[in-house]
Amino acid sequence: MSTQSSHQTWGGRFAEGPDARVAAFTESISFEARLAPYDIQGSIAHARMLSHVGVLQSDEFETIRGGLEAIGERIAVGDFTWDPALEDVHMNIEARLTEDIGALGKKLHTARSRNDQVATDVRLWLRATIDSLIGEVNRLRRGLIGLADHHAETVMPGFTHLQVAQPVTFGHHMLAWQAMLARDAERLGQIRARANKLPLGAAALAGTTFAIDREMVAQELGFDDVIDNSLDAVSDRDFAIDFVSAATTIMMHLSRFSEELILWMSPAFGFVELPDRYCTGSSIMPQKKNPDVAELTRGKTARVQGHLTALVTLMKGQPLAYNRDNQEDKVPMFDTADTVGACVALFADMMPHVAVDAAACRNAARRGFATATDLADYLVRAGVAFRDAHEIVGNCVSRAIHEDCDLAELTLATLQEYSTAIGADVYEILTLDGSVAARDHLGGTAPSQVRAAAARARATLGD
């Protein structure tokens, strides 16, 4: 049987090219073209190393580098035609390089495989993506810290079970959100460090017979180390799972923020007003102002969570080493990066411009008997056992409900019906301001502590 030339770079072993449906089914260029700058960066480093160890002559390296840089420039300005028949980003670039500089372009793939090449490209992409995302997370943190400082004395109800529990300040609440994001930024940094190891040099799975210098490539590409097992280097996708897991946690946090903003913006709460430019209206109800950014962020959280499940499931049945299944890691990773990046950026833009209705927040705290625990603490300090104090305060709350007033509005005589341990000084702690001011310890909601916590948070950001 006579052999048939194939458009694929691997076609020498095959008597016929792939079915058109197989070619369409197996291509990945439609979603991985974004790896092109990293593929070129890695290829230049690989070619430089090949020149260093004598596989390429120095003039050959310079020609290859010039060709790759020219391709990169064309891709950057959109003057590059991607050919799905060449399957992936690597083969498209290599084919164009060979077209541009001749047969020398075919030497570039010496001592490497697409298996270690794509693993390197994705790690380079992920490193840049994490750096950008950390920057956006920190920008959102700065906005929350600014709100916290501005509203260090704005009293609002703190909730448990979505019921009014104790008074807190709006600033303290913003710093709780900030603390979640601080953990997110730290987690991303840890994932970046684990991912910042070079797989290139593992070749297909067993390494190469050429005397390569992997440490040289790692240094040029800014990797902290090389992966020292070739099987693991080409098959590991823990870094992808780690990233999408961290992104899922970020989205979970943003979803919680969103839920609170949606509630707080409703007339039933009226705590905040979001800028018009981050909301939309109704096609039928002209009075509506819908918090669509928050609602869509809450919805997109499910999408990112789904990507995490997809990646874990993708990897669970794969034997060593590389399998074509791993082509399916990119869409979940890329979409996760796009989704979480857009959501964090919009929140970072929006939060510094949130208007807070301090009066509405204070009135809501008054309605829920938020200082009841303060009264119980007062009684304990007066020598009453806590369980007895709890019952006494419960009776006082029932009386306030009956009289349709706040605890602080009950007369001293009325309060003393339930305990003679209550004195005139009780009103110092029954007020909302007195309650928050009394929690003047590290981590407390007192205005002075909120401002101190805001300063500490700024310091962690280098501000």
pLDDT in tens, 63-85: 999 999 999 999 999 999 999 99
Question: What average pLDDT score do residues 447-452 get?
Answer: 98
Given a contact cutoff of 8 angstroms between Cβ atoms, the answer to whether 104 and 55 are in contact is no
- What's the CA angle centered on 30, arms 69 and 78, to 5 degrees? 40
Q: Please check whether residue 91 is in contact with residue 32, taking contact to mean a CB–CB distance below 8 angstroms.
A: no
Look up the CATH superfamily of 369-460. Answer: Fumarase/aspartase (C-terminal domain) (1.10.40.30)
Q: Catalytic positions, please?
A: 161, 282
Residue where the block lists tokens 């946090």: 253
What is the C-alpha to C-alpha distance for residues 433 and 428, in angstroms, rounded to an integer? 9
Q: What is the mean pLDDT of residues 417-436?
A: 94
Contact 84, 20 (CB under 8 A): no
The answer to whether residues 298 and 258 touch, using CB atoms and an 8 Å cutoff, is yes
- Amino acid identity of 231? L
Domain chopping of the chain, boundaries: 18-110, 115-150+167-206+228-362, 369-460
pLDDT in tens, 353-367: 999 999 999 999 988
pLDDT digits (tens, 9 = 90+) for 26-44: 788 999 999 999 999 999 9
Tell me the residue type at 238.
D
Here the tokens at position 17 are 């090219």
Is the domain spanning 18-110 CATH 3.20.20.370? The answer is: no
User: Taking a C-beta distance cutoff of 8 angstroms, is the pair 244, 182 a contact?
Assistant: no
pTM: 0.92
- CATH number for 115-150+167-206+228-362 (one of 1.10.540.10, 3.20.20.70, 1.20.200.10, 1.10.287.610): it is 1.20.200.10
Using an 8 Å Cβ cutoff, are 122 and 163 in contact? Answer: no
CA-based torsion, 274, 279, 285, 287: positive or negative: positive
Q: Is residue 271 a contact partner of residue 264, using CB atoms and an 8 Å limit?
A: yes
Tens of pLDDT, residues 169-199: 999 999 999 999 999 999 999 999 999 999 9
Phi first, then psi: what are they for 55, rounded to 5°? -75, -35
The closest alpha carbon to 164, from 410, 373, 355, 357, belongs to: 373
Q: What is the pLDDT of residue 11?
A: 64
